[in-house]
Amino acid sequence: MSREIGKTTKERERIKRKQNENKTARERLESKFHDAFDRYPYNSDELLKYRLYKDQKCKCAYSMEPIKLDKDIFFEPGYVEIDHILPYSRSFDNSYSNKVLVLQSENQMKRNRTPYEYFRDEKLNKWVDYECWVKENIENPKKRNKLLTKNYSEVEKTEWAPRTIVNTQYIARFFAQFIRSSLKFSDPKVKLPVVCMNGRITSMLRGLWGISKVREDDDLHHAKDAAVIATITPRMVKLITEYRKARESKRYQKNEVFVDTETGEIIDFKYSFPMPWKNFRLELIARLSDNPAAEIEALKNNDKLSAYTDKNDVKPVIVSRKPQRKVTGQMHKETIRSVREEEGAQISVIRKNISELKMADKDNLYAPDTNKKLYDAIFQRMKEYDGDAKKAFEQPFYKPTNTPGKQGPQVKTVKLKQTKPSGIKIRGGIVDNANMVRIDIFTKAGKYYIVPVYTSHVLCGELPNRAITRDKDEKDWQIIDAAFEFKFSLYPYDLIKFVTKKDTFFGYYRGCDRTNGAIKISLPNKNEDSIRKTGPREIIKYEIDVLGNYYEVKKEDRRGLEDFGNLKSGEDMD
């Protein structure tokens, strides 16, 4: 749980004092409201409008025009509105420091922009006057900074973490309540069936016990936290809370002795917070190693552990990840390529940015004779930069003209031709497939064949029967017939073992390269890095449960696309 440890007496007194000050200020404001309108506010919005009106020196926060404090029009719809300085849809900031009172017309023109974005687009000449007005009239420093924020995209990045913590707190509370109401225990007399542990307490004990946590290493840091949480008792939580309060609110002396300044009582906190059992830290580190059996055997030989009887029962801990068996993403890429006939063969024509050109593209130019002078100039420029198009066209490039001193139009793309076009036919052209849902693995004569299944196949109800063939167009791929044996399908995050002539790779399937059939695998406990491998001697698929136990899949039946039913994109076939 992401909540505070118990607060000290001084902190509680400060909070109470602030609450009393806010209550007094509200009563004073309500009294002034009554003097102005001959009545008390009907709701909190009315009082908030009045408070903002007073804080802004009676002017609209954007136009700087006076706002009439007339009881007949002040609260009428269409006159003044409360606006979020930093748009709520972007900041999720509903605090008072992010609110201003503005004329409705200004609010409508500002829309989902910050004040600076609004002035930059609509009233640039007024920004200097506006900036001076804000500095002179807005006393709240937080509000003043928000009104004058220029680069909110950068501010959003720094404010993301605090907002996420708040979301985490809400989710954790909801989930804890869900578990309490749903989880059934065999013994109804259990008093504390579900205990919510504070994250700071976990962190404190982890540090005291010498258990390091480096998130960047791998995802096993969650297992470290789980082991620590499982050993924390209610008495330990109480002890840590008292310890923290004593350090912050009592006079500190040597040897962890504190004196209660109110009672004069001497409190001895000579607690060492011992580990749950002897060598707990060493055992945890060994269990989370790449070879726990060997590590634990070494500890046993040094009389560090004695509870383990058979080292062969100890397997490496694997982070369990849920396979993604959803039909998601685009059916096809956005670029539609035209299909044309040239010398008896079909070709497609695409546009390519000149900054992405390669010297080899010179041989694939479409209709090179029609723009020979332009193409010669483009590749001559690239030659001057050793074929680096990015550097060659870092500055704008213009079409050469026959008139000296005259500049032609800027050139951004050129047309290239591709032979043997494949993909999805649409609007008289052709587009490339987009998202790969899964790959189907076949074998024949000890060799593996990969058939990619795309979102387009699912939505069209077409089960593909061509296996990826290196450096060939899809229409020339290997056709899969009855002579091939189907092994299994692989979805993202299916657990597999990939065996080559020299090495064995164990991890999660992450994707496949349709150009050469290379399979991408991420290590089981590290989600970011991936390995690309081709030419398997063997591929083994495993099913893994939520606790990390995995079992080899011996045989699967190939699931037809009818198993997806009438799914729409984004729905789960399970």
Instruction: Retrieve residue 370's tokens.
Output: 């029609």
User: Residue 332's pLDDT band (boundaries 50, 70, 90)?
Assistant: very low
User: Residue 246's pLDDT band (boundaries 50, 70, 90)?
Assistant: low
Edge to edge, what strands does the sheet with 345-353 contain? 413-419, 345-353, 337-342, 429-431, 424-426
More confident site: 244 or 395:
395
The predicted pLDDT at position 499 comes to: 92
| pLDDT tens figures, 84-128 | 898 876 776 778 999 999 998 888 888 888 899 888 887 777 888
| pLDDT tens figures, 383-420 | 999 888 888 898 888 888 887 777 788 888 888 876 65
Q: Choose the weakest-confidence range: 242-246, 470-474, 487-491.
A: 242-246
For residues 520 and 512, the answer to whether their CB atoms sit within 8 Å is yes
Closest CA to 284 of 236, 213, 217: 213
pTM over 0.75: no
Q: What percent of the chain has pLDDT over 70?
A: 79
Residue type, 226: A
Q: What percent of the chain has pLDDT over 90?
A: 23
Residue 509 has pLDDT above 50, yes or no: yes
Residue position matching structure tokens 């680069």: 151
Residue type, 563: D
For residues 204 and 5, the answer to whether their CB atoms sit within 8 Å is no
Partner residues linked to 66 by β-bridges: 59
Question: In Å, how far are 164, 169, 229 from 216, measured between CA atoms?
Answer: 19, 23, 21
Give residues with Cβ within 8 angstroms of 216, minimum separation 6: none
CB neighbour burial string for 113-125, b if at least 16 within 10 angstroms, e if fewer: bbbbbbbeeebee
Question: In Å, how far are 129, 246, 339, 444, 477 from 347, measured between CA atoms?
Answer: 61, 79, 6, 33, 18
Give residues with Cβ within 8 angstroms of 440, minimum separation 6: 450, 451, 453, 486, 488, 489, 558
Q: Compute the distance between CA of residue 407 and CA of residue 202 in angstroms, rounded to an integer.
A: 68
Closest CA to 546 of 229, 321, 219: 321
Mean per-residue pLDDT of the chain: 80
Q: Choose the weakest-confidence range: 40-49, 217-226, 275-284, 301-310.
A: 301-310
Question: In Å, how far are 20, 37, 47, 79, 285 from 32, measured between CA atoms?
Answer: 19, 9, 10, 21, 65
The predicted pLDDT at position 214 comes to: 80
More confident site: 258 or 146:
146
Q: Compute the distance between CA of residue 229 and CA of residue 197 in angstroms, rounded to an integer.
A: 7
Q: Compute the distance between CA of residue 40 and CA of residue 143 in angstroms, rounded to an integer.
A: 27
User: Residue 242's pLDDT band (boundaries 50, 70, 90)?
Assistant: low
Residue 485 has pLDDT above 90, yes or no: yes
| pLDDT tens figures, 51-85 | 999 999 999 999 999 998 887 788 888 889 999 89
How far separated are the first and last CA of the chain, in Å rounded? 31
Residue 249 has pLDDT above 80, yes or no: no
Q: Is 275 left (phi over 0), alpha (psi -120 to 50) or beta?
A: beta
Mean pLDDT to the nearest integer, 266-272:
55
For residues 493 and 321, the answer to whether their CB atoms sit within 8 Å is yes
Partner residues linked to 345 by β-bridges: 342
Q: Compute the distance between CA of residue 508 and CA of residue 530 in angstroms, rounded to an integer.
A: 9
The predicted pLDDT at position 56 comes to: 94
Q: Compute the distance between CA of residue 396 and CA of residue 466 in angstroms, rounded to an integer.
A: 44
Give residues with Cβ within 8 angstroms of 540, minimum separation 6: 496, 497, 499, 552, 553
The predicted pLDDT at position 527 comes to: 76
Closest CA to 119 of 130, 135, 108, 133: 130
Residue type, 380: Q
Q: Compute the distance between CA of residue 173 and CA of residue 170 in angstroms, rounded to an integer.
A: 5
Closest CA to 434 of 403, 457, 411: 457
Instruction: Retrieve residue 433's tokens.
Output: 């497939």
Helix (H, G, I), strand (E, B) or coil at 381: helix
Burial class (CB in 10 A: 0-12, 13-18, 19+), 166: exposed
Q: Choose the weakest-confidence range: 211-220, 310-319, 443-452, 530-539.
A: 310-319
Q: Choose the weakest-confidence range: 241-250, 398-407, 504-513.
A: 241-250
